[in-house]
Every structure is written in structure tokens, then in C-alpha cells.
């Protein structure tokens, strides 16, 4: 739990890679993915969320099966401590950055008018910055990062041919809501066991919970609000970007983020309170919150509520406020 002392000699690299590292963490997921759903294209957002959930689950489980250690410190100086208890191979930051950037490129390149080369460079720069940040912060080896990016690329190639079929089933199958909840819960409760506590199970539950809540929201919207394949989406294209569109997009974003963060905070308090009452522990007891019977329902219910809120409650609020 002790951090190493270090002297920053190049503030440009320090802040660049600290920022880049945040692009592979919750703060990015909880802003970029909903922004895409609210302002750009719901079909693109659906595909990115599904790919992100699958890729991250495989990456997290792979870490705890392979059990490759992170770089030794010293000689490496580690600038982060929260994930230090996790194993290193593969880098899930590299996996997520590769999956999100290139799935966004693949999903939009044939729908919107922008140069493919520009999109390719943007995806490459984004994923490269995140990968390099893991080396700079001392959290991964070069092999961890390359392995994560390659695994993500292979998964993208395997899943791409089935994208449309998966999307159609998630929107139309009557079994979608049940399977979207049951399958992730089973995976979370049967997560590989470790000899010591690691945040990987909790992080995996957070991701699968958010994906489950969002998927149920996708299905409900398609069934009872607007069919996905006939809805009109915000069109991404430089000639269409006006000050009015920018202001409306920002309004949607800030209203949505406020609701999402409020949902997260409320559900954390309510669910933790209920579990604390059930298992007789104070809410501030960190060790109790790490137990399987507490951590999984606490994080799954909280973040499935966040995913549901982002895809159902926020769009309804946007419509009520005249932001559609």
C-alpha cells in the first residue's frame, strides 16, 4: 500500500500518459460510451458496448488464469497503486482501447462521410497512447501490452461477422432481458478464485453489470419506444456540425451524466445498506465489501442500474426537456 517517491522531470510526458491511462478506466467508459449513445449513433454505441463487455471479461479472466506478475518495483517506478494487486498479462487497458477505437471505426466508416485514413489514424493514436501509458506508469511490460492489443484484435475479427446477428437478437429476442441478467451473473459468481483479494472480480462485475443494464435498455427501447432499425440518429459529418447541434449535444451530455452519476451514487448507498443489514456489517467495512456474496450483487445491481438509466431514463428525460 506504500507508493514510491519519484521526481517528475518531464511534465509533458507525465500528464500526457496519466491522461492517456484514464482513457482505459471507468471515467472514460462512463462518459464516452453514453455520449455516443445520446449524440452520435445508437447502433454504433450498442456494438461498442457489447464488444467492450466481451473483450474486458476475457481479458480479466485471462489475467487470473495466466497469473503473470506485473513488472517488479524496483527497478520500475509504479505511478498507480489500485491495480497493483492484479496480474499483468494481458493489459486490459490495451484491450479496451483497441476494441473501442477500432470497433468505432469499423461501425462508422461505412455509415458516415469521413476519410477512412483519418479514422484509422485516430484509432491508432488513441490505442497507442493508452498502451504507452501502461508502460510509462510502470503497470505493464511490453509483452503485456502487445498481448492485450493482439487478443483484442483477434476477438474483433472473430466477432465482426456476427455483429449484425448479435445486435438483431439482442433487440428482438423475447429471451434477451432474462439472458442479459442471468448469464453475466453466472459468470461473475463463477469468476476464477485467487489466493488473495484482487480488484479484477469487482471490476469485471462492474463491466458486465453495466453491459447487462444497457442491453436490457436496448431491448426495451426497441420493443416499446422506437424500433432501432427505423430510428433516426444524429448524423456525424463535418458539414452538419453547427453551433446549435453542439449546444444540444452538450446539453444532452451534461443532463445525462448528472442522471448517471446520481443513479450510481443512490444505488451504491441503497444496495450497500441492504447488504450491510443482511450480512450484519457496517457500510464502511472494506473487508466485508470484498466478500463474494457482497461484492457481486453490490456492483452488479449498481452498475446494471447505471446502464439501464443511461439507455432508458436519460433518453426519456432528453425527450421531456426537448433535447431530442
Choose, from 93, 134, 264, 268, the residue flagged as catalytic: 93
pLDDT > 70 in the chain, percent: 92
When pLDDT is averaged across residues 40-67 and rounded to a whole number, the result is 90
When pLDDT is averaged across residues 90-116 and rounded to a whole number, the result is 88
| pTM of the predicted structure, to 2 decimals | 0.86
What's the total number of domains in the chain? 1
Any domain includes 205:
yes
Q: Are 289 and 202 in contact (CB under 8 A)?
A: no
Annotation marks residue 140 as catalytic: yes
Q: Are 267 and 305 in contact (CB under 8 A)?
A: yes
Count of helix runs (H) and strand runs (E) in the chain: 13, 0
Q: What is the rounded CA–CA span in Å between residue 279 and residue 65? A: 30
Any domain includes 2:
no
Q: What is the pLDDT of residues 173-228, one digit of tens each?
A: 999 999 999 999 999 999 988 777 788 888 899 999 999 999 999 999 888 876 65
Any domain includes 6:
no
Any domain includes 1:
no
Any domain includes 46:
yes
What is the pLDDT at residue 227?
Answer: 66
Per the structure, the complete domain to which residue 267 belongs is given by: 11-229+238-321
Q: What is the pLDDT of residues 135-184, one digit of tens each?
A: 888 888 899 999 999 999 999 999 888 888 888 888 889 999 999 999 99
What is the pLDDT at residue 228?
Answer: 58
Any domain includes 3:
no
Annotation marks residue 93 as catalytic: yes
Q: What is the pLDDT of residues 280-317, one digit of tens each?
A: 888 888 888 888 888 999 999 999 999 999 999 999 99
- CA gyration radius, the chain: 20
Q: What is the rounded CA–CA span in Å between residue 113 and residue 312? A: 29
Any domain includes 4:
no
Q: What is the rounded CA–CA span in Å between residue 117 and residue 156? A: 19
Choose, from 140, 268, 299, 318, the residue flagged as catalytic: 140
User: Which whole-number Å values give the CA distances from 71 to 76, 78, 98, 120, 255, in the listed order?
Assistant: 7, 9, 22, 31, 41
Any domain includes 256:
yes
Amino acid at each position: 500500500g506504500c507508493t514510491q517517491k519519484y521526481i517528475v522531470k518531464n511534465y509533458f510526458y507525465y500528464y500526457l500518459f496519466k491522461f492517456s491511462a484514464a482513457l482505459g478506466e471507468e471515467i472514460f467508459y462512463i462518459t464516452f460510451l453514453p455520449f455516443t449513445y445520446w449524440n452520435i449513433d445508437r447502433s454504433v454505441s450498442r456494438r461498442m458496448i457489447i464488444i467492450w463487455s466481451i473483450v474486458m471479461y476475457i481479458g480479466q479472466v485471462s489475467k487470473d488464469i495466466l497469473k503473470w506478475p506485473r513488472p517488479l518495483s524496483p527497478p520500475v517506478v509504479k505511478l498507480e497503486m489500485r491495480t497493483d494487486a492484479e496480474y499483468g498479462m494481458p493489459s486490459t487497458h490495451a484491450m479496451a482501447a483497441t476494441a473501442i477505437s477500432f470497433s468505432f471505426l469499423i461501425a462508422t466508416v461505412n455509415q458516415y462521410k469521413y476519410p477512412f485514413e483519418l479514422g484509422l489514424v485516430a484509432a491508432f493514436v488513441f490505442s497507442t497512447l493508452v498502451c504507452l501509458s501502461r508502460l510509462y506508469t510502470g503497470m505493464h511490460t511490453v509483452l503485456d501490452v502487445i498481448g492485450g492489443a493482439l487478443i483484442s484484435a483477434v476477438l474483433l475479427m472473430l466477432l465482426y461477422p456476427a455483429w449484425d446477428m448479435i445486435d438483431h437478437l439482442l433487440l428482438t429476442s423475447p429471451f434477451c432481458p432474462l439472458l442479459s441478467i442471468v448469464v453475466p451473473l453466472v459468470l461473475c459468481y463463477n469468476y476464477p478464485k485467487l489466493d488473495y483479494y484482487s480488484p479484477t472480480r469487482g471490476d469485471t462485475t462492474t463491466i458486465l453489470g453495466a453491459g447487462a443494464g444497457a442491453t436490457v435498455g436496448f431491448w426495451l427501447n426497441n420493443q416499446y419506444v422506437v424500433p432501432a432499425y427505423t430510428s433516426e440518429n444524429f448524423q456525424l459529418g463535418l458539414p452538419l456540425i453547427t453551433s446549435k447541434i453542439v449546444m444540444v449535444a452538450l446539453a444532452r451530455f451534461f443532463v445525462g451524466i448528472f442522471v448517471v452519476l446520481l443513479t450510481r451514487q443512490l444505488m451504491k448507498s441503497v444496495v450497500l445498506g441492504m447488504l450491510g443489514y443482511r450480512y450484519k456489517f457496517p457500510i464502511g467495512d472494506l473487508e466485508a465489501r470484498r466478500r463474494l456474496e457482497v461484492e457481486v450483487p453490490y456492483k452488479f445491481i449498481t452498475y446494471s442500474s447505471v446502464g439501464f438509466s443511461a439507455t432508458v431514463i436519460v433518453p426519456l428525460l432528453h425527450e421531456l426537456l426537448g433535447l431530442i
